[in-house]
Amino acid sequence: MKVGFIGLGRMGLPLASHLVKNGVDLVAYDIHSAPLDKIQQLGGKVAASPQELAQQSDFVFTMLPGPKQIKDVVLAPNGILNQMQPGAYLVDLSTIDTDTVDELYQSAKAKGVHFADAPVGRLAAHADRGESLFMLGAEDQDIDTLSALLLKMGTTVQHCGVPGAGTRMKLINNLMVLCYCQINSEA
């Protein structure tokens, strides 16, 4: 089983690092070389492009800054979805909007690619320690397979429903946290 990971920012790098440390055959891609160097030092491999990564991966995790980057990397004509084999898995860990996650799901389904969203809960410090929580939106038949991989990066997987439900739960969670911060500020 070959796992690809695209997006090695503040959250992505520790998540990908835990995959390597837990024995996963990982290939990574990022637009910056420093995090790729760290993955190689841990024993992971790097790809020259997202397309190369997708061609050689059974599972692809994306952890990107927002909807624009996700659409550019995944859904563009030269995006990774067009490089993935039917039966492969695409798992978005980003926190994005519901329209984009629904578009990812429908596009993946049309290509015969399994799709799940699993936005990350908790803080970057938790990711550093391998203690992340994942709000998983996935088809029932994919839960066990995906949970096994997610638990190599964190400690908790909460299945929230079908693909797209993880993102919806993350947005609800963020809204509650921000409301509490506003109430605290007003007080």
Pairing of strands 120-121, 132-137: antiparallel
Residue type, 132: S
Count of beta carbons in the 10 Å neighbourhood of residue 164: 23
What's the pLDDT tens digit per position in 34-61?
A: 999 999 999 999 999 999 999 999 999 9
> CB burial class (10 A; 0-12, 13-18, 19+) of residue 14?
buried
> Does position 180 have pLDDT exceeding 90, yes or no?
no
Residue type, 169: M
pLDDT tier, 177 (very low <50, low <70, confident <90, very high otherwise): confident
Say what the pLDDT of residue 84 is.
Answer: 98
DSSP state of 74: I
Cα-based distances in Å from 160 to 134, 142, 170 = 10, 13, 10
- Residues annotated as catalytic (active site), given as ranges: 170
What's the pLDDT tens digit per position in 121-142?
A: 999 999 999 999 999 999 999 9
What's the pLDDT tens digit per position in 143-162?
A: 999 999 999 999 999 999 99
Picking from 6-15, 60-69, 176-185, which range would have the lowest pLDDT averaged per residue? 176-185
Distance CA 113, CA 84 (A): 7
pLDDT cut 90: percent of the chain above it: 93
